[in-house]
Amino acid sequence: MISAGEKLPEATFKTMTPEGAKDLTTSDIFSGKRVVLFGVPGAFTPGCSNTHLPGYLENHEAILAKGVDAIAVVAVNDHYVMGAWAKATGGEGKILFLADGSGDFAKATGLDGDMSQFGMGLRLKRFSMIVDDGKVTVLNVEPKPGVVESAAAKILEQL
One of 24, 40, 48, 139 is an active-site residue; which one?
48
Nearer to ligand BEZ, 45 or 140 (CB): 45
Please state, as a whole number, how many other Cβ atoms lie within 10 Å of the Cβ of residue 22: 12
Give the span between the Cα atoms of 7 and 69, in whole angstroms.
Answer: 18
By CB under 6 A, is residue 80 in contact with ligand BEZ? no
Query: Does 48 qualify as catalytic in the annotation?
Result: yes
Binding mask 47-76 for ligand BEZ (x = CB under 6 A): xx----------------------------
CA–CA distances in Å: residue 31 to residues 10, 27, 42, 127? 11, 5, 26, 21
45 touches ligand BEZ by CB under 6 A: yes
DSSP element (H, E) containing 42: none
Residues near ligand BEZ, by CB under 6 A: 41, 45-48, 115, 118, 120
